[in-house]
Amino acid sequence: MRCPNSMSAPELPRDGAARHPRDGTSRAAKGGLDRRALDHLLGFMTSLADARLRKAFSAHMNGLKLRPVEFSILALLSTNQRVTQKKLCLALDTPAPNLVVILTRLQERGLLRRVRSNEDRREQHVELTEEGRRLADEAHALSLTMEAEALSVLTAGEQLLLFELLRKIAGGR
Amino acid sequence: MRCPNSMSAPELPRDGAARHPRDGTSRAAKGGLDRRALDHLLGFMTSLADARLRKAFSAHMNGLKLRPVEFSILALLSTNQRVTQKKLCLALDTPAPNLVVILTRLQERGLLRRVRSNEDRREQHVELTEEGRRLADEAHALSLTMEAEALSVLTAGEQLLLFELLRKIAGGR
DNA sequence: TATTGTTATACTCTATAACTATA
DNA sequence: TATAGTTATAGAGTATAACAATA
């Protein structure tokens, strides 16, 4: 009733002892508080990890004045063609009204343009400008190293595994 | 210069073909957009996974009128004693001013109380009320199953592995 | 009627500066 | 001087309803 993890639990890969100390002392985690009541929740772990990675992002990207969503949009535009706002909304899981203001902001910076489609006059095709592509490339180069410190606690194999597992969760139908 | 993953890459555990299709068709992921330019970024995956899990949380917890932080606070209070606001800030990675308003909201709902410490008159000890403990127990029971659907795409072993890997990332250092 | 994009708006979350009371 | 907690506030993120243009 109070044990972690609902599903049947095979062997822990490691840290089993640290998670379930036998002695009376509660595990002094971050801030001296026993966090075991929370760390059976994937959502808690992802939100902590996400916060950490957002800090890494802004530390490395503040020079380019790019927020995470803006970076994502530039990256998607640089590797896709005929991108409509609808598609961006789906790919980024962002409500349409929010995307509009983000795109307008990037457009006013001269990084992209909106071109009304001829096949379907309701659609806008979003495209990078020359300057937008330059910034996208620069940002991509930075992105290759910005998570290095956070990832340094994992081996290369663990990193790949983590990506695959998260992809399954995130993509999950 | 444009290939994913900065570090040297050993064998992919699975899905290698799906990630790097040989044919010309770009992988039609969510929304029909090729997202490979992004999915080398751990931060992107965690934010997607986090969004998905937040939805699962609110779907299951809306009856209790608890937000994620509020749930976390109740959980920490139910398994820790002599909890100061400072400790909560560290454990939750939340700025002190934000915690104040969250605690006040919970206090006004009669779920917890603040008791001025006698050893150090600056500190407040935050404690659950009877009603707070009841709600914390109820929420904990719900939390054991609320992520089941999201986690169902993983085997039990993969779930444990994912927790361990995320813990390492979140824990810093 | 349904869909794409838009406007307006409201609510939440996050972050910072400045204050108080204690140490 | 430094720390725990507080107040006030600004900014970013997120969500919904209502509308115009087009299909």
Which residues contact residue A152 at a Cβ distance below 8 angstroms, ignoring those fewer than 6 apart?
none
Q: Do B50 and A41 make contact, defined as CB atoms within 8 angstroms?
A: no
What pLDDT is stored for residue A119 in this prediction? Answer: 96
Q: What is the mean pLDDT of residues B52-61?
A: 90
Q: Which of A117, A141, A118, A119 lies closest to A127 in space, CA to CA? A: A117
Contacts of A36 in chain B (CB under 8 A): 79
**How many CA within 13 A on the CB side of residue A171?**
14
pLDDT single digits (tens) A46-82: 998 998 899 899 989 989 999 999 999 999 999 999 9
Q: What amino acid is encoded at A119 in this protein?
A: E
What pLDDT is stored for residue B41 in this prediction? Answer: 92
Residue A24: band (very low, low, confident or very high) from pLDDT cuts 50, 70, 90:
very low
Which candidate in B41, B70, B76, B98 is best for mutational testing of the A interface (most A CBs within 10 A)?
B41
Rounded Cα distance, B66 and B71, in Å:
6
Distance from CA of B104 to the nearest CA of A (A): 21
Which residue is associated with the tokens 């992107």? B44
Residue A15: band (very low, low, confident or very high) from pLDDT cuts 50, 70, 90:
very low
pLDDT single digits (tens) A139-152: 999 999 999 999 99
Which residues contact residue B130 at a Cβ distance below 8 angstroms, ignoring those fewer than 6 apart?
none
Distance from CA of B63 to the nearest CA of A (A): 18
Q: Would the pLDDT of B48 be above 90?
A: no
Torsion, Cα of B16, A145, B166, B136 (10° steps): -130
Q: Would the pLDDT of B118 be above 60?
A: yes
Q: What amino acid is encoded at B100 in this protein?
A: V
Rounded Cα distance, A67 and A163, in Å:
22
Q: Which of A83, A129, A84, A122 lies closest to A106 in space, CA to CA? A: A129
3-state secondary structure of B113: strand
Instruction: List the single range of A27-31, A108-112, B72-76 with lowest mean pLDDT.
Output: A27-31
What pLDDT is stored for residue A75 in this prediction? Answer: 97
Give, for A84, the enclosing helix (H) or strand (E).
Answer: strand A83-84
Q: Tell how strand A112-116 and strand B124-128 pair up.
A: unpaired
Give, for A105, the enclosing helix (H) or strand (E).
Answer: helix A96-108
Q: Do B169 and A159 make contact, defined as CB atoms within 8 angstroms?
A: no
Which residue is associated with the tokens 């919970």? B106
Residue A32: band (very low, low, confident or very high) from pLDDT cuts 50, 70, 90:
confident
Q: Do B163 and A42 make contact, defined as CB atoms within 8 angstroms?
A: yes
CA distances from A2 to A11, A12, A106, B137 (A): 19, 18, 49, 9
The runs of H, that is alpha helices, within B6-108 are: 16-19, 42-61, 68-79, 85-92, 96-108
Q: Which of A78, A141, A80 lies closest to A106 in space, CA to CA? A: A78
Which residues contact residue B2 at a Cβ distance below 8 angstroms, ignoring those fewer than 6 apart?
A140
What pLDDT is stored for residue A31 in this prediction? Answer: 67
What pLDDT is stored for residue A9 in this prediction? Answer: 27
Rounded Cα distance, B127 and B82, in Å:
8
Distance from CA of A166 to the nearest CA of B (A): 6
Nucleotide nearest to B87 (CA to C1'): D4
Contacts of B150 in chain A (CB under 8 A): 42, 169, 172
What pLDDT is stored for residue B172 in this prediction? Answer: 54
Q: Would the pLDDT of B124 be above 90?
A: yes
Distance in angstroms, CA of B123 to C1' of C23? 11
Phi-psi sector, A41: left (phi>0), alpha (psi -120 to 50), beta = beta
Instruction: List the single range of A129-133, B15-19, B85-89, B132-136 with lowest mean pLDDT.
Output: B15-19
Q: What is the mean pLDDT of residues B101-118?
A: 97
What pLDDT is stored for residue B29 in this prediction? Answer: 55
Q: Which protein residue has its CA closest to C1' of C4?
A: A122
Which residues contact residue B6 at a Cβ distance below 8 angstroms, ignoring those fewer than 6 apart?
A144, A145, A148, B40
What pLDDT is stored for residue B10 in this prediction? Answer: 29
Rounded Cα distance, B80 and A46, in Å:
22
Q: Would the pLDDT of A165 be above 60?
A: yes
Of B1 and A51, the structure prediction assigns the larger pLDDT to A51
Residue A107: band (very low, low, confident or very high) from pLDDT cuts 50, 70, 90:
very high
Of B100 and A167, the structure prediction assigns the larger pLDDT to B100
Q: Would the pLDDT of A29 be above 70?
A: no
Which residue is associated with the tokens 């603040």? B114
Percent of chain B with pLDDT over 90: 67
Q: Which nucleotides of D are covered by protein (CB under 7 A)?
A: 3-9, 12-18, 21-23
Task: Give me the residues paired with residue A125 across strands.
Answer: A84, A115
The pTM of the full predicted model, rounded to 2 decimals, is 0.82
Nucleotide nearest to B102 (CA to C1'): C13
